[in-house]
Structure 1
Amino acid sequence: MIAICLAIGFLGSRITQMTIDTWYPTIEKPIFNPPNWVFAPVWTLLFILMGIAAGLVWNKLEENKEDVKKAMLFFIIQLLLNLLWSYLFFGLNNLLLAAIEIILLWLIIFETFMLFKRINLKAGYLLIPYLAWVGFASILTITIYILNY
């Protein structure tokens, strides 16, 4: 599960690298925008925590098949939405769609958290830093959209 999460993160970073030195420096950003070097280590840690959480839930498959399947479906959806945000923001440079999509992403992560913690409390807690970071990223994305339109 960790490898899958890191692979998604790697794909997102490849999309990001396309415009991080060209388009991204040209847009207005708020004063609370972290320096670029912060993102890679934070995302790496978050993807590792997500993978551990998913593994803990997956290990309960035989005990609770239906709940685990539902939780893993939401987990996969949020992983794909995570990747989609990188494409919308950095690939398409579409700040409005990225702002809308990241709100949906946060909601799906929250539902994943709720499902995970019912199956394995530790798995749920491992998603809290991810929820917090995407909450911050949501505010950042929306603010960047406002500053540039």
Structure 2
Amino acid sequence: MTMWLPLIGMTALPHVGGIYGGFITRQQVKTWYPTLKKPSWRPPNAAFPVVWTCLYTGMGYGSYLVWKELGGFSENALVPLGLYGLQLALNWAWTPIFFGAHKLKWALIEIVLLTGTVGATMVSWYPISGTATLLLAPYLSWLCLATSLNYCIWRDNPEKKEE
């Protein structure tokens, strides 16, 4: 059973922030978010929880593959798992900034940093596990879409822009 604990724990870990973000988002999607001008190409609200569940599972499993390949939390794991941890923290921070604080510009800056950190994580994972790297590819693609969406919302809602 103990051999399954890291697999389950590391795969489930990203969902912790996702669940927390869901609580923040749920009310705002009904009240504040509909007041924003959004581009016509925006995915429907119902797509977001499905997509994020898949992405969180993939990134979590990818982190497990890297951890396993490097023999656990070793000195060799510092950069690849450190970058992963940084991007996960940035991922979890975006929702409270955008949906919680309604800070469109700060959310945009934050998601640009997040997207870059995911790219750096992928670069650091590639020599360790091609599979883990590929598991982050849909996540990076989705973040590019989300970054574009955040930018358009910030641009198209000047009355909502913070000082």
Q: Distance in 2 between matches of 1:93 and 1:63?
A: 39
**Structure 1 equivalent of residue 161 of structure 2:** none
Q: Following TM superposition, by how much is the alpha carbon of 1:11 offset from its aligned partner in structure 2, in angstroms? A: 1.3
- CA drift of 1:110 comes to 0.4
Give the whole-Å Cα distance in 1 for the aligned partners of 2:17 and 2:45.
19
Structure 2, unaligned stretches of length 5 or more?
A: 1-9, 159-163
8 Å contact kept, 2:67–2:73:
no
RMSD of aligned alpha carbons: 1.4
Identity fraction in percent: 38
Say yes or no: does 1:42 pair with 2:51. yes
User: Which residue in the other structure is 2:61 paired with?
Assistant: 52
| Cα distance in 1 for residues equivalent to 2:72 and 2:84 | 19
Indicate conservation of the 8 Å contact 1:18/1:91, yes or no.
no
Structure 1, residues 38-86: CA drift from partner, whole Å, max 9, x if none?
Answer: 0000000000000110000010233893332211111111111011110
TM-score (norm 2): 0.87
Q: Which runs of 5+ in 1 are unaligned?
A: none
Give the aligned length.
149
Measured in 2, the distance between the counterparts of 1:101 and 1:39 equals 19
Matches within 5 A, 1:56-67: 56-62=65-71, 65-67=74-76
User: 1:121 and 1:19 mapped to 2: Cα distance?
Assistant: 38
1:107 to 105, 116, 119: 116
- Corresponding residue of 1:148: 157
1:15-94 matched pairs, under 5 angstroms: 15-62=24-71, 65-94=74-103
Q: Return the offset for 1:138.
A: 0.3
Q: CA offsets per residue over residues 61-116 of structure 1, 9 Å max, x none?
A: 33893332211111111111011110110000010000111000000000011111
Q: Distance in 2 between matches of 1:18 and 1:3?
A: 24
Q: Which has the larger radius of gyration?
A: 2
Q: Residues 64 and 96 from structure 1, CA distance in 2 versus in 1: closer, same or farther, beyond 3 angstroms?
A: closer
Segment of structure 1 superposing worse, 50-59 or 12-21: 12-21
What letter corresponds to residue 65 of structure 1 in structure 2?
S
